[in-house]
Amino acid sequence: MIKYTIRRLIQAVPILFGISILSFLLMTASPGGPTAALTLSPNMSARQREAVAQRLGVNDPVPVQYLRWLTGDDWMRRDTDGDGIADTSIILPLDADGDGEAEPPGNRKGVLRGDFGNSFFSNRPVIEQIKDRIPATLELGVSSLIVGLLFGVPIGIISAVGRGGIFDNVSRVGAVIFNAVPVFWLGLILILVFGSMLDLLPMGNRCPNRIGACPPLYDPIRIKHLILPTFTLATGLIAVYSRYMRAAMLDVINEDYMRTAKAKGLSNRAIWFKHGARNAFIPLATFLGPALAGLLSGAVVTERIFAWPGMGRLAVDAVVAQDFPVVMATVIFGAIATILGYLLSDILYAWIDPRIRLH
């Protein structure tokens, strides 16, 4: 298992490089660029706009931009006067102020050393912005995944056991409806009904609008803020998990070991949830891993609707503003989450079924 995991992680390195190159090419090919949003003032001269572009480094050739993003630019400097301070660029000179003279580049360490640079608009380190947003996204994503499993798995098992019955038909229709309803429409309807008309739950934000830090997650106020976005994001998971669990359960419900468990006089709960569900979980494990990455992409819409301060909302704002460092950081983190998700699925196979061996 350990050797398999290490080998998969090593194989993920070229995949990440390929994703970063493709994403960087698509980003730099987008029209306008960040200078269009940063230089909206009609009083700015062409020289001033050019100076902004030079300062951001977006006018350099694409390979140069990618190299600087990947490896940084501190290694491009050298100490020419012996004072111990790197003051001259070895390569890639930049004209930061538009005066026609090349100044030495900054001291970015590059993505390979954990430095994603600063946001073009907030001028804050990108890694700090992500650290601020990840807890909110994990809070929403994990709670939605838990709700999806807690409701989807039992619904699928009960539907399979009572195949063709009232519960099975109702759950099947409900799964189709929940799977077909767009997330943004469902979120807006929930806000309208429970937030505006009934005034039972908050209509947005992660915590109340007040000075100071958010209360802990177990606080009833925080739970109220979490209910609507969690339900919105979990409905699709409930629909998918219940249908796949039903199909998997139907495959194992007539197996010999299930009949043996019945002959031994075990209770229905023990037969369905202990003996049958474990083997039925194998197909479901295929979706559990990628679901972790899918929650990040699905949360883009949900976080936007409910003004949830997470990674999805950060990614949307960065794409709209063409904030290249933030966009690339969210892409890389999303790719890492996807790779780890598929690796988790493989590990779950071996954990659920001891007959499966990973080599």
Average pLDDT value for the chain: 78
What digits encode the pLDDT tens for the residues 108-136?
Answer: 677 888 888 888 778 888 888 888 888 88
Q: Measured between alpha carbons, how far is 148 from 299 in angstroms, rounded to an integer? A: 14
Give the residue, 33 or 280, on which the prediction is more confident.
280
Confidence category of residue 75, pLDDT binned at 50, 70, 90: low
> Is the distance from CB of 187 to CB of 306 less than 8 angstroms?
yes
Q: Residue 40 above 70 pLDDT?
A: no
In this prediction, residue 76 carries a pLDDT of 59
What digits encode the pLDDT tens for the residues 190-236?
Answer: 999 998 888 888 888 888 776 567 777 788 888 888 999 999 988 98
> Is the distance from CB of 320 to CB of 312 less than 8 angstroms?
no
Average pLDDT over residues 252-258: 78
E strands in the chain: 77-78, 88-89
In this prediction, residue 87 carries a pLDDT of 52
Instruction: Tell me how far CA of residue 99 lies from CA of 42, 52, 103, 224, in angstroms.
Output: 21, 12, 10, 56
In this prediction, residue 13 carries a pLDDT of 87
Confidence category of residue 81, pLDDT binned at 50, 70, 90: low
Contacts of 283 (CB under 8 A, 6+ apart): 244, 247, 248
Confidence category of residue 151, pLDDT binned at 50, 70, 90: very high
Q: Where exactly are the structural domains of the chain? A: 31-113, 126-352
DSSP assignment of 332-343, as one string? Answer: HHHHHHHHHHHH
In this prediction, residue 93 carries a pLDDT of 46
Confidence category of residue 170, pLDDT binned at 50, 70, 90: very high
Q: Measured between alpha carbons, how far is 258 from 165 in angstroms, rounded to an integer? A: 21
Least confident among 36-40, 163-167, 200-204, 258-262: 36-40
Q: Which two tokens stand for residue 123?
A: 């001028």
The model carries a pTM of 0.76
CATH of domain 126-352: 1.10.3720.10
